């Protein structure tokens, strides 16, 4: 999960595309959108691969695909091939989807009585992976090296991911038997997938928008600051992990419906405050709240799906179809970033609109019958 967590830090490469490839800044968000398109495809098709290969082999395959994509991105960077980058990150996004869902299934099988492990593994892996990539951005001075050097570093990370994939195949036992048999009896249980997809989309949208352009958006509130990028942003990523760790306790205290309502309300209030009082400290506080709620949302949702589908095959099929909305939220977030990056005024509009939407979502969960599925 740590290896594919770098997908949340594609901004470290995207932010250098205008300088290295001469592309407009708005175009630099296309790789994240392309990766999220691949992510949706990978999540939507992962259940079929799980039934054929098992969770261990699927997780290893996804990590290897991401590694191969990084190698291809490195070569495309060195050759100034922007379309090659887009194709490579879309391919890599498929691998991220395979790895994410199969690791969730693996952890659920390995620790069936410990829901904390299932809820925390995704946020922990993605936060540490993204934090490491952002730290590397400053340590290796991405903003000043040439495209050949940057391509070499990206390829190196790809080789590391492939090595981790091989170790996964060697170290973990084969679990294919967990996916044999027919899950049809569980599939006939009507699960509110459309409602869950809507919930996941709006829960993920603020976070995916932040990840789509975390470096250039941060620079809109302050001058490019090496220390902020090197020290503060990697630490802010810890909020994502903290959200995953606290998700089960928070849900146990408030219940799922009130938890999501509170998380939406918190983000909505912070976004509206940022729009009204734009500043570096307020932007950091808003980002902390967004990442904390992002991690909590992804920590709570697997347990809700598990209520309807206890068998691994049925759970993977249902949760994978719901997670497609995650990638869609990433594409929408990249488009919002492309619109907002041109000026603070546009960013203020996006913050206002997203703040209102998240507040409405928080109220909707509490007031309408949609909340019944979360009780």
How many folded domains does the chain comprise?
A: 1
In a domain, 21, yes or no: yes
Rounded Cα–Cα distance for residues 320 and 238 (Å): 26
Distance CA 235, CA 343 (A): 27
Considering the domain boundaries, does residue 14 fall inside one? yes
Residue 183: inside a domain: no
The average pLDDT across 152-159 equals: 96
Question: Could you list the residue range(s) of the whole structural domain that residue 36 is in?
Answer: 4-175+189-374
Residue 80 lies inside a defined structural domain of this protein: yes
pTM of the model: 0.92
CATH of the domain at 251: 1.20.1250.20
Q: Contact, 374 vs 279, CB < 8 A?
A: no
Q: Give mean pLDDT, residues 54-70.
A: 94
Residue with tokens 């170790």: 167
Q: Does residue 182 belong to any structural domain of this protein? A: no
**Residue 351 forms part of a structural domain:** yes
Could you tell me which residue, 171 or 185, shows the higher pLDDT?
171
Give the per-residue pLDDT at 186: 47
Answer yes or no: is 295 within a domain: yes
Say yes or no to pLDDT of 188 above 50. Answer: no
Does a structural domain hold residue 180? no
Look over the chain and give the mean of its residue pLDDT values, rounded to a whole number: 88
Contact in structure between 70 and 12 (CB atoms under 8 Å) = no
* Contact assessment for residue 258 and residue 366, using Cβ atoms and an 8 Å cutoff: yes
């Amino acid at each position: 999960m740590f290896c594919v967590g770098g997908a949340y830090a594609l901004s470290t490469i995207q932010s250098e595309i205008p300088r290295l490839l001469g592309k407009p800044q708005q175009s630099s968000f296309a790789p994240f959108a392309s990766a999220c398109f691949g992510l949706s495809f990978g999540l939507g098709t992962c259940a079929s691969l799980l039934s054929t290969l098992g969770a261990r082999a699927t997780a290893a395959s996804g990590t290897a695909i991401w590694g191969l994509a990084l190698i291809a991105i490195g070569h495309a960077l060195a050759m100034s091939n922007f379309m090659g980058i887009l194709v490579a990150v879309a391919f890599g996004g498929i691998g991220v989807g395979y790895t994410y869902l199969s690791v969730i299934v693996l952890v659920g099988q390995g620790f069936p009585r410990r829901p904390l492990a299932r809820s925390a593994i995704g946020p922990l892996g993605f936060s540490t992976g993204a934090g490491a990539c952002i730290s590397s951005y400053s340590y290796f001075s991405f903003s000043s090296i040439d495209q050949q050097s940057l391509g070499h570093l990206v390829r190196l990370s790809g080789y590391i991911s492939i090595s981790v994939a091989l170790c996964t195949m060697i170290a973990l036992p084969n679990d294919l038997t967990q996916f044999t048999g027919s899950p049809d009896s569980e599939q006939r249980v009507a699960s509110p997938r459309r409602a869950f997809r809507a919930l996941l989309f709006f829960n993920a949208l603020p976070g995916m928008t932040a990840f789509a352009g975390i470096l250039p958006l941060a620079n809109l509130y302050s001058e490019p600051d090496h220390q902020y990028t090197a020290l503060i942003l990697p630490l802010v990523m810890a909020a994502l992990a903290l959200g995953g760790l606290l998700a089960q306790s928070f849900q146990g205290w408030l219940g799922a419906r009130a938890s999501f309502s509170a998380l939406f309300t918190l983000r909505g209030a912070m976004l509206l405050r940022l729009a009204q009082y734009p500043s570096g400290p307020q932007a950091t506080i808003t980002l902390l709240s967004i990442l904390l709620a992002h991690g909590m949302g992804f920590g709570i949702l697997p347990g809700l799906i598990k209520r309807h589908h206890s068998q691994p095959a049925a759970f993977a099929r249902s949760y994978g179809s719901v997670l497609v909305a995650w990638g869609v939220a990433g594409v929408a977030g990249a488009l919002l970033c492309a619109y907002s990056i041109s000026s603070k005024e546009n960013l203020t509009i996006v913050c206002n609109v997203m703040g209102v939407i998240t507040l409405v979502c928080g109220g909707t969960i509490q007031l309408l019958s949609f909340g019944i599925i979360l009780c």
